[in-house]
Amino acid sequence: MLRQLRKVFGCDSRSLALFRIAIAVLIMVDIVDRFPHSEAFYSEQGIFPSELSKLESPFGWSLNYLSGTVVFQQSIFISLAIAALSLAVGFYTRIATLICWILIVSIHVRNPLVLIGGDTLLRLLLFWSLFVPLGKSWSWDAFQRQKKSLKSDTAAPEDTLVSSVGTGCLIIQVFIMYWFAGLSKITEPWLTGTAMEYVLRLEIYVRPVGAWMLHYPEVLKWLTFSTLALELVVPFFLFLPFWNARFRLLAMLIFWSLHIGIELSLDVGLFGIISMMAWFPIIPGVVWDRLGKSQTRVFDQQGAVVQSRRSLSTRVTNAVALFFLLYIIVWNTANIEFKGKSSWTGKLPPSFFPLGYTTMVAQNFQMFGNPPRFNPWFVYYARLRNGEEVDLLRKCPVDYARPDAATRIYASIRWKKLHRFLLRHEGHNVFHQSILEYFIREWNRAHSEKEKVRLARIEVFFEAIGPEYLQGDYIKAKDLAFWESKESVEKSDDELLGEIDSMIRQFESGSLIERH
């Protein structure tokens, strides 16, 4: 029985080594993605000053709060890169893992407006890695242990299976991500087979392959039902006591295929790659044995088990890991909405949630459980002192014509996520105002006095989507933010004529129609 449990909840040390290297590389890729936006996303001169960050995450902590300068924010990323490099080579692995986790949490807390599902998963995988010996194989730490064992002539037969509370939590986290995503999809669009059509009509995310698939509604219906079934059933393959290695590989291949399909169809940032990497610890040892990849000789596993039983620190560590595992299970359960009914969140005491936000184990993997019913379109309207009208987002004259889905509007997935945030938090006017004022500052900094912004607003337009979709016009919903210069600027005749001309053009395009 104990042997079966070790297999089910254990990981091969070589698989953990591959996971360690992969997670370090992905951290570096994430740094390359964020670093150019150090000022816009993380400095006090950006879209989200620290006072607003603390308002959004009152229980969070962040090293980024220590200074609001661009140079300091960049130093956080450079420090993270150094720690990730140390993690990749397995140099002081546990310390490197802890530093990576602290800095990742700091970055995420500093600006939650631009976080995607992949960020949450990466953060959680790092958290559980604190309880796992990632440096046991293919690392500098393992090489040093080998040298010591050879000198002392105490080398023991190697055992690549690592089975602990930490490895069990790492595996269960993967299960939680998919299974709760499946539970969240027990909604009308998924049960009727229309969800994929909603998702693939989101022009902000869809790629050419996804747009092409819209021509095959029956295929989309089949993909909708199969995705729901896979997420509800296949995760249990991880815990089957018989043919466990085979079922693990089968589950991994199934979900890898799912993520490859998503990557081809939708722009979801690094989420798909991080999700695929999350399966690396679960690769059974038989794969490495077939490939002939032996591990560095380390101390005997059975001896380690005996020692761990006698170690007070290990008992405390296991207790902490088990506590957080139970905590996130309750967290995920409380946030599920079955068939559109309210979740259990309101039934938990308010004191339950601060710990999740403080440690950043808070998670929500609903993955289009209730897909959006509309396409959004934003115009950052601005009137300049010389009477010209421009779009601050696109940096061109204002155009209220229906946008082309293929037009590149947003610089990255994080700018897309920011604008999705604008819609989900319509009541957070202070956030909208801060974003608008950032774009105004950026425009004014690059233009002359006559071309500076006199007034500006964020306009949001909607287009209904779904089954039997017919392409139509975007209808203006509201203005999310408004700004006007405090300077007294007398309007010229050209400005007055320009305003009248603008109103006529907006009326003719239908953008003045308010949706009630």
* Number of Cβ within a 10 Å radius of residue 192: 12
> What element of type H or E holds 380?
strand 374-384
Written as tens digits, the pLDDT of the chain (516 aa) is 677 888 899 999 999 999 999 999 999 999 999 999 999 999 999 999 999 999 989 999 999 999 999 999 999 999 999 999 999 999 999 999 999 999 999 999 999 999 999 999 999 999 999 999 999 999 999 999 888 877 765 555 567 899 999 999 999 999 999 999 999 999 999 999 999 999 998 888 889 999 999 999 999 999 999 999 999 999 999 999 889 999 999 999 999 999 999 999 999 999 999 999 999 999 999 999 988 865 544 333 433 443 444 577 888 999 999 999 999 999 999 888 765 555 666 678 889 999 999 999 999 888 888 888 888 889 999 999 999 999 999 999 998 887 776 556 787 888 888 888 777 665 568 889 999 999 999 999 999 999 999 999 999 988 888 777 777 778 888 899 999 998 744 555 555 566 666 666 666 655 544 443
The Cα 404–Cα 389 span in angstroms is: 20
Q: Which two tokens stand for residue 460?
A: 């949001």
The Cα 444–Cα 450 span in angstroms is: 10
| DSSP sequence for 255-300 | HHHHHHHHHHHB--TTHHHHHHHTTGGGS-HHHHHHHT-PPPP-S-
pTM over 0.85: yes
Phi, psi of 401 (to 5 degrees): -70, 155
What is the number of residues in the chain? Answer: 516
The Cα 149–Cα 101 span in angstroms is: 31
Coil, strand or helix at 448 = coil
CA atoms within 13 Å, Cβ hemisphere of 349 = 3
The Cα 478–Cα 485 span in angstroms is: 21
The three state secondary structure string of 321-368 is HHHHHHHHHHHHHHCCCHHHCCCCHHHCCHHHCHHHHHHCCCCCCCCC
Asked if 422 and 348 count as a contact pair (C-beta separation under 8 A), the reply is no
Tell how far CA 493 is from the center of its chain: 50
* Number of Cβ within a 10 Å radius of residue 227: 21
